[in-house]
C-alpha cells in the first residue's frame, strides 16, 4: 500500500464510509486537531518522565485514535449495512473518563493547592504539557462546533474536556517533580 494516493490532490479527502469532503471541512479540522494533539502527547511521552505517566500517555493516545475515528465517521455511516455499529469495538467508555479523573485526583494530592493561575513554562517538558493542553482545548472547541451541525458522541466531547484538565495537572505535577519554578500570574493593579 502506498502512502500517497493522489485522491486528495484537488483538496478533498474521504471520511469513514467513503464520503468525500473538502480538507477544510469542520469534521476534518476536528479530527485533524485530535491528531495534532496526539503528536504533542507523543512528544511529552518521549521526555524523561516517570514510567507511570508514559503508560498513561500511551493509553490516552489510544483513546485519541478512537476519538479521531468517531469524528471521521459521518452520522449516516455509523451503522454498517448489516446493522452493526461501525465503531462498536472502538468506543470511549465512562471508565476512560474516570481513569483521567482518578489520575488528576492522585496527582493533585501530591501538589500544593493552587492559589493563582500559573504562567506556562518552567521546564521544556512542562511547556509541552501546556501546549498539548491548548491543542486539546482547540480540538474540543472544533468538535463542539461540529456538534452544532451534526451529531457528535457526547462522551467524546466529555473525554476531550477532561483530558485538558489532566494535561494541566500533569504539567503542574511534572513541574513539581522536576523542581521547576511555577510562576504565578499576578494581575497588575
Q: Check if the beta carbon of residue 139 is closer than 8 Å to that of residue 34.
A: yes
Confidence at residue 178, expressed as pLDDT on a 0 to 100 scale: 95
Sequential DSSP letters for 6-32: STTTTSEEEPTTS-EEETTSHHHHHHH
Task: Give the CATH number of domain 13-75+85-177; options: 3.10.20.30, 3.40.50.450, 1.20.1200.10, 3.40.50.150.
Answer: 1.20.1200.10
Q: Check if the beta carbon of residue 121 is closer than 8 Å to that of residue 130.
A: yes
pLDDT tens per residue across span 83-139: 555 454 568 999 999 999 999 999 999 999 988 888 899 999 999 999 999 999 999
Confidence at residue 134, expressed as pLDDT on a 0 to 100 scale: 98
What contacts 94, CB < 8 A, 6 or more positions away? 155
Confidence at residue 129, expressed as pLDDT on a 0 to 100 scale: 98
- Out of 80-84, 105-109, 174-178, least confident range: 80-84
Confidence at residue 86, expressed as pLDDT on a 0 to 100 scale: 47
Confidence at residue 187, expressed as pLDDT on a 0 to 100 scale: 86
Across 161-170, average pLDDT? 98
Confidence at residue 188, expressed as pLDDT on a 0 to 100 scale: 87
What span, in angstroms and rounded, lies between the C-alpha atoms of 134 and 131? 5
pLDDT tens per residue across span 30-72: 999 999 999 999 999 999 999 999 999 999 999 999 999 999 8
Confidence at residue 78, expressed as pLDDT on a 0 to 100 scale: 55
Q: Is the pLDDT assigned to residue 153 strictly greater than 80?
A: yes
Amino acid at each position: 500500500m502506498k502512502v500517497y494516493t493522489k485522491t486528495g490532490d484537488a483538496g478533498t479527502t474521504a471520511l469513514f464510509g467513503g464520503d468525500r469532503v473538502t480538507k477544510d471541512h469542520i469534521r476534518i479540522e476536528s479530527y485533524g486537531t485530535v491528531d495534532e494533539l496526539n503528536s504533542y502527547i507523543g512528544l511529552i511521552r518521549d521526555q524523561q518522565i516517570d514510567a507511570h505517566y508514559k503508560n498513561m500517555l500511551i493509553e490516552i493516545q489510544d483513546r485519541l485514535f478512537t476519538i479521531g475515528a468517531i469524528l471521521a465517521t459521518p452520522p449516516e455511516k455509523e451503522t454498517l449495512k448489516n446493522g452493526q455499529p461501525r465503531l462498536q469495538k472502538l468506543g470511549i467508555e465512562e471508565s476512560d473518563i474516570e481513569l483521567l479523573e482518578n489520575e488528576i485526583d492522585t496527582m493533585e494530592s501530591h501538589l500544593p493547592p493552587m492559589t493563582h493561575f500559573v504562567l506556562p513554562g518552567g521546564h521544556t517538558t512542562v511547556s509541552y504539557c501546556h501546549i498539548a493542553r491548548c491543542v486539546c482545548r482547540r480540538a474540543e472547541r472544533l468538535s463542539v462546533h461540529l456538534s452544532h451541525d451534526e451529531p457528535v458522541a457526547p462522551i467524546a466531547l466529555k473525554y476531550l474536556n477532561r483530558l485538558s484538565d489532566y494535561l494541566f495537572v500533569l504539567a503542574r505535577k511534572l513541574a513539581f517533580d522536576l523542581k521547576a519554578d511555577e510562576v504565578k500570574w499576578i494581575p497588575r493593579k
